[in-house]
Amino acid sequence: MEYHALKELWLCRVRQFYREPEAVFWTYVFPLIMIVGLGIAFRNRPAERIAVDVVKSDGSADAMAALSPPVADGFDVEVRRRIDCRERLRLGKTSIVVDVTDEGYVYRYDPTRPESVSARARVDDALQRAAGRTDPVAASDHLVMEPGSRYIDFLVPGLLGMNLMGGGLWGIGYVTVDMRVRKLLKRLVASPMRRSDFLLSLVGGRLIFTVPEVAVVLGAGVLLFDIMITGRVASVMAVALLGACSFSGIGLLVACRARRLETVTGLMNVIMLPMWLLSGIFFSYERFPAWLHPFIKALPLTQLNDALRAVILEGESLPSQWFALLYLTVMGTGCFCLALRWFRWN
* pLDDT for 145: 63
DSSP code of 23?
A: H
In a domain, 72, yes or no: yes
Q: Report the relative pairing of strands 104-108 and 96-101 from DSSP bridges.
A: antiparallel
What one-letter code names the amino acid at 133? R
Note whether 281 and 162 are within 8 A (CB).
yes
* pLDDT for 148: 65
Domain identity same for 298 and 177: yes
Closest CA to 185 of 262, 254, 257: 257
Tens digit of pLDDT at every position of the chain (346 positions): 445 666 777 677 777 767 777 667 767 777 788 778 877 777 766 777 889 999 998 888 888 888 888 888 888 899 999 999 999 998 889 999 999 988 889 999 999 888 899 999 999 988 888 888 887 888 877 766 666 678 888 889 999 999 999 888 888 888 888 888 888 777 777 677 777 877 888 888 888 888 888 898 898 888 888 888 888 999 999 999 999 999 999 998 998 888 888 888 888 889 999 998 899 888 888 888 889 999 999 999 999 999 999 999 888 999 999 999 999 999 999 999 998 888 888 7
DSSP code of 51?
A: E
* pLDDT for 241: 93
Domain region containing 118? 50-130
Domain identity same for 110 and 22: no
| Torsion of the alpha carbons at 17, 23, 29 and 33, rounded to the nearest 10 | -160
Domain identity same for 14 and 163: yes
Domain identity same for 287 and 319: yes
* pLDDT for 2: 46
Alpha helices (runs of H) in 131-228, residue ranges in sequence order: 151-168, 175-181, 184-189, 195-225
* pLDDT for 144: 65
* pLDDT for 327: 95
State the number of CA atoms in the 13 A half-sphere of 46 facing the CB.
4
Domain identity same for 7 and 67: no
77 strand-pairing partners? 52
Residue 56: CATH number of its domain:
3.40.190.10
Closest CA to 276 of 197, 198, 202, 166: 166
In a domain, 335, yes or no: yes
* pLDDT for 324: 94
- Burial call 235-270: b when 16+ CB within 10 Å, e when fewer: bbbbbbbbbbbbbbbbbbbbbbebeeeeebbebbee
In a domain, 143, yes or no: no
Angle subtended at Cα 38 by Cα 33 and Cα 41, rounded to the nearest 5 degrees: 130
In a domain, 241, yes or no: yes
- Among 95, 130, 165, the domain-final residue is 130
Element (H, E) at 239: helix 233-255
* pLDDT for 147: 60
Tally the domains of the chain: 2
